[in-house]
């Protein structure tokens, strides 16, 4: 193994450590609240390396956002929903979305921060983002179409609006879990409460698309 390779490997490792640290720091504190010093410290890297590898704080945040969005879609692909019946497929997607948010609360914090800054950190990768996401809409649209064809789903449900709603019902509950717990006087993160909400989400979506029984 050549020296160049080792250096590359170390460089890659450093870069990855910085990225992971940045991911956490941005998620915990938002873009404005995140500290470059803290990222370097968490990454056990020299601060200078951050600038070497990522340019500056803003570019690093952009990078983190892009990867974050990519990750969720990557996971989604693994579901292989095309093999399932429409109703089951949709139910599983709602469940997946909820579970993903639940196990990746940082994702929501990043998205919120991105929007506070009017998504300007996304605009560099605008095209990639749109393309990446179109797969998601197509996925939902396919399920819907199959459901309509088999008569279990009603016609006329817009796929984009459905996508948004699937995300909304879980996202809102979880991103506002702290204020929610105070306002509603209950622990939003308690196991039972989470189970209840997870089930409720599926009901919201399915009642929205299913054909009325007769």
Partner DNA sequence: TATGAATGAGTGTTCATTCAT
Partner DNA sequence: AATGAATGAACACTCATTCAT
Q: Indicate whether 195 belongs to the interface with DNA (CB under 7 A).
A: no
Stretch 61-80 residues interacting with a second copy (CB under 8 A): 69
The option from DNA, a second copy, none interacting with 149 (CB < 5 to 8 A, set by class) reads none
Distance CA 62, CA 95 (A): 28
Calculate the dihedral angle through the C-alpha atoms of 114, 119, 120, 124, rounding to the nearest 10 degrees: 100
Distance CA 77, CA 80 (A): 6
The option from a second copy, DNA, none interacting with 76 (CB < 5 to 8 A, set by class) reads none
Residue in this structure with the two tokens 């950190």, named with its chain if needed = 121
Q: Which of 35, 41, 73, 195 binds DNA (CB under 7 A)?
A: 35
Q: Indicate whether 163 belongs to the interface with DNA (CB under 7 A).
A: no
The option from a second copy, DNA, none interacting with 3 (CB < 5 to 8 A, set by class) reads none
The option from a second copy, DNA, none interacting with 138 (CB < 5 to 8 A, set by class) reads none
Q: Which of 6, 11, 13, 32 binds a second copy (CB under 8 A)?
A: 32
Q: Which of 7, 123, 130, 134 binds DNA (CB under 7 A)?
A: 7
SS3 string, 23-45, reads: HHHHHHHHHHHCCHHHHHHHCCC
Q: Indicate whether 52 belongs to the interface with DNA (CB under 7 A).
A: yes
Distance CA 123, CA 167 (A): 22
Q: What is the CA radius of gyration of the chain?
A: 20
The option from DNA, a second copy, none interacting with 14 (CB < 5 to 8 A, set by class) reads DNA
Kindly give, in sequence order, each residue whose CB lies less than 8 Å from that of residue 170, ignoring residues fewer than 6 positions away: 94, 97, 98, 101, 102, 197, 198, 201
Q: Indicate whether 116 belongs to the interface with DNA (CB under 7 A).
A: no
Tokens of 183: 């306002």
Stretch 138-167 residues interacting with a second copy (CB under 8 A): 158, 160-161, 163-165, 167
Q: Indicate whether 104 belongs to the interface with a second copy (CB under 8 A).
A: no
Distance CA 30, CA 38 (A): 13
Site residues (CB under 7 A) for DNA?
Answer: 6-11, 13-14, 34-37, 45-49, 51-52, 56-58
């Amino acid at each position: 193994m050549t020296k160049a390779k080792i250096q590359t490997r170390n460089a890659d490792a450093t870069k990855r450590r910085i990225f992971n640290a940045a991911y956490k720091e941005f998620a915990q504190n938002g873009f404005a609240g995140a500290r470059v010093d803290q990222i370097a410290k968490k990454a056990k890297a020299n601060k200078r390396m951050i600038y070497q590898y990522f340019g500056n704080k803003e570019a690093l945040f952009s990078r983190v956002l892009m990867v974050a969005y990519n990750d969720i879609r990557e996971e989604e692909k693994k579901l292989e929903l095309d093999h399932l019946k429409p109703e089951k497929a949709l139910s599983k997607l709602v469940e997946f979305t909820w579970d993903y948010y639940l196990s990746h609360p940082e994702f929501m914090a990043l998205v919120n921060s991105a929007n506070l800054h009017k998504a300007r950190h996304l605009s560099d990768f605008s095209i990639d983002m749109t393309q990446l996401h179109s797969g998601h809409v197509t996925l939902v649209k396919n399920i819907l179409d199959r459901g309509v064809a088999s008569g279990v789903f009603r016609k006329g449900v817009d796929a984009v609006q459905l996508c948004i709603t699937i995300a909304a019902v879980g996202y809102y509950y979880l991103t506002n879990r702290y204020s929610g717990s105070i306002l509603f006087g209950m622990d939003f993160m308690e196991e039972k409460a989470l189970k209840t909400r997870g089930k409720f989400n599926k009901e919201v979506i399915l009642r929205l698309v299913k054909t009325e029984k007769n």
